[in-house]
Structure 1
Amino acid sequence: MAMQLLRGALSLLKWGLCAIGAVALIFTALIATPLERPPELHSVSDSRKGVDMTTLPALERFQARDGTWLGYRHYAAGGSATARGAIFIHGSSGSSGTVNHALTAALATHGVETWALDTRGHGASGTRGDIGYVGQLEDDLVDFVAHVRKSAPDLPLTLIGHSAGGGFSLRIAATPIVQDLFVRTVLVAPYLGYDAPTNMPHSGGWASADIPRFLGLAALRKLGIDCCAQLPVLAFAVPANSERFLTPTYSDRLMRNFATRGYRLDLPAVTHPMTIFGGAEDEMMISGKYAETVQAIRPSVDVKLIEGVNHMGMVTNPKAVNAIAEDVATRGANQS
């Protein structure tokens, strides 16, 4: 009898180990799937044409709480100062030194003192394409605002984000520890999350995700195993040999942090005024759906569409950048 029980236990152990081995092989296969970069998207690459980069401010740095030096650019208010300030968050792959300079310069020209941040994982901030943990970008923004407050202690600040930076700005507007640092949030052609009806398939050819790797890492987290989050899971359609200026891939943890938690989750938690600007000719987002998508959850969000402008044109086209800059310069914190 004892021998039968022992044989039964050994058999169960054997099949249990086989099952664990099979699951381990499945996870290994999912995670090992290579990430493929999409072909160059010329509507993004060509957006650099016509942007005067000779007026780009010098790169400055501040030290985040973990000791890492992060980059940013400061635009002093020109013309008639408005006693307003803005912090600008660039889109996916970009930095403070890319084409969004047209918009940040326009903000300053309209009298808004402006700071453009190299979000960690981009430009001159940290390791390209990676961060240390999900939530680090929020910590960095808190540290950056504290740095800005050394020279502008009382200036009302508007948070402005473009594309993926718009999604991250929505995340910030819904985060209690950070949202009170800003009086207003402006989202420019924002990426509202993977499940938003405002997305073109594959972001119009801009982004390619390693779905098997993403699903494998997500399943491991569900099991309490948080490993391999430094692996790349998202690639962008940047030109070849553009790594000096652009970030071609995102790690799993950077992709999860530089985004909303989900627009359905974040929008109800927003307490300050918010405006969304979209380009009617956006090839990455379905701008015509911004109003119905967002206002179904938060009716007070103001949505403005600019005719004849595509995704990158929202930060480069004079019609768009002047409309956004005029809005930030003239609308108060009590207005959406």
Structure 2
Amino acid sequence: MALTLAAMIATPLERPPEMRSVSDSSKGIDWSTLPSLERFQARDGTWIGYRHYPPNGPATGGGAIFIHGSSGSSGTVNHALTHAIAARGVETWALDIRGHGGSGTRGDIGYAGQLEDDLIDFVAHLRKGAPDLPLTLIGHSAGAGFSLRVAATPIMQDMFVRTVLLAPYLGYDAPTNRPDSGGWAKADIPRLLGLTALRKLGIDCCSQLPVLAFAVPATSAKYLTSTYSDRLMRNFATRGYRLDLPATTRPITIFGGGEDEMMISDKYAEVVQAIKASVDVKIIDGINHMGIVTNPKAVSVIAEDVARRGIGQS
């Protein structure tokens, strides 16, 4: 048994070929308005990166924290949306999740649950300057799965008045997934199974090993994270939509793209409303997975929604 598990864990991770619909999503974005990277210190002493978008124009009295998708950071294509939200009077922050961008070690974290600790620390950091600002949590793709996880966590529920999930990855077993996320992600199944078996035996070792690879360009190491360790993959996701949705207590809205090549958006309403009928689901026609944060049509719809319902209205 030990030899079998060792062989499974030793299986090398293979990276999928570049996914052009993701790589091309940065074209046409105005990077001249990208705020500089700032940092705060998390409880373990690690510096975590983020970008601050002050409200441009009449302030709405609301704020938003944006969580990027898998492989990304605060300085990637979500800038088109975060800039648009701030332009509508919402004070906005885009966070580099630990293991991405300017936060910690690329592709890894210290332990499952550390991302929640980081977000708690980040909100505490923001509260020094904005003690009463109502905050909306916004997540894209894997970041939306993590945002759902946060919305279901009792200690964190009251930090945010509302959660907005953009093209959410609802977990490996969700009916809304396309196989391998349409070619975006490739998992090392033998290694995953081996590590899961070890945890069931009470042995939590080797969780720093990479288990998930993304279809990023070979030359993108400066901007993107190409692989996730086991513990990062497990943490930067929902615990399972069937578990997390019933535990949420604040309003949730899902936006999907009608032409999403990674998710089956037409199934969002059926899947989530069977568990939580109050979840608001909106599908934007003609929009693919990355277009939900870059396409002017989707950006306008979502930014207006966040600005209008920024104090938590359902």
- TMscore range, shorter length: over 0.9
Shift of 1:211: 0.3
Is this contact kept in 1: 2:80–2:293, CA < 8 A? Answer: yes
Per the alignment, residue 304 of structure 1 pairs with 282
Question: Match of 1:180, SS?
Answer: helix
The Cα RMSD (Å) is 0.7
User: What does the per-residue CA deviation read over 1:223-248, in whole Å, with 9 as the maximum and x for residues that have no partner?
Assistant: 00000000000000000121100000
The answer for the alignment partner of 2:125 in structure 1 is 147
Measure the CA separation in 1 of the matches of 2:90 and 2:313: 17
Query: Hey, what's the Cα distance between the residues in 2 that align with 1:132 and 1:205?
Result: 28
Aligned residue for 2:203?
A: 225
Aligned equivalent of 1:132: 110
Aligned-partner Cα distance in 2 for 1:195–1:115 = 31
1:247 counterpart residue number: 225
Residues 153-178 of structure 1 show CA distances to partners (whole Å, capped at 9, x for unaligned) of 11000000000000000000000111
Q: Match of 1:207?
A: 185
1:194 deviates by 0.2
Report sequence identity in percent.
Answer: 80
Which protein is bigger by CA-based radius of gyration?
A: 1
Paired position in structure 2 for 1:75: 53
1:170 equivalenced with 2:145 (yes/no): no
Letter in 2 for 1:286: I
Does structure 1 conserve the Cα–Cα contact (< 8 Å) formed by 2:136 and 2:310?
A: no
Q: Are 1:46 and 2:24 matched, yes or no?
A: yes
Q: Helix, strand or coil: the match of 1:145?
A: helix
Matched residue type, 2:154: P
Alpha-carbon contact 1:273-1:333 (below 8 Å) kept: no
Match runs of 1:91-130 below 5 Å: 91-130=69-108
Distance 1:225 1:54 in 2: 49
C-alpha contact (below 8 Å) 2:63/2:310 kept by paired residues: no
Query: Counterpart of 2:68 in structure 1: which amino acid?
Result: H
Q: CA deviation at 1:100?
A: 0.4
CA distance in 1, matches of 2:310, 2:185: 35
Moved over 4 A (4+): none
Partner of 2:161: 183
| 8 Å CA contact retained: 1:128, 1:247 | yes
Structure-1 residue corresponding to 2:67: 89
User: 1-side partners of 2:105 and 2:304: how far apart?
Assistant: 35
**Does 2:170 align with 1:197?**
no
Residue 53 of structure 1 and its aligned partner are, at CA, apart by 1.1
For 2:136, the equivalent position in structure 1 comes to 158
Q: Structure 1 residue 44: deviation in Å?
A: 0.1
Letter in 2 for 1:205: G
TM-score by length of 1: 0.93
- Counterpart of 1:5 in structure 2 is none
Q: Is the 8 A contact 2:135 2:311 kept in 1?
A: no
Residue ranges of structure 1 left out of the alignment (5+ in a row): 1-22
CA–CA distance in 2 between the matches of 1:334 and 1:116?
19
Structure scoring higher RCO (CA < 8 A, sep ≥ 6) equals 2
Q: Hey, what does 2:304 align to over in structure 1?
A: 326
Rounded to whole Å, the distance in 1 between the matches of 2:167 and 2:107 is 22
State the Cα deviation string for residues 39-81 of structure 1 (Å, max 9, x = none).
Answer: 0000000000011111100000000000000000000001111
**SS of equivalent to 2:156:** helix
Instruction: Tell me if structure 1 keeps the 8 A contact 2:13–2:213.
Output: yes
Greater helix proportion: 1
> How many corresponding residue pairs?
314
Residues 1:60 and 2:60 are matched in the alignment = no
User: What's the secondary structure of 2:22's corresponding residue?
Assistant: helix
- 8 Å CA contact 2:62, 2:310 repeated in 1: no
Query: Are 2:215 and 1:237 equivalent residues in the alignment?
Result: yes
Amino acid at match of 1:244: K
CA distance in 2: counterparts of 1:106 and 1:306, whole angstroms: 17
State the partner residue of 1:28: 6
The alpha carbon displacement at 1:150 in A equals 1.0
- Displacement of 1:335 in angstroms is 2.9
SS at match of 1:34: coil
**Take 2:255 and 2:110, find their aligned partners in 1: how far apart are those partners?**
31
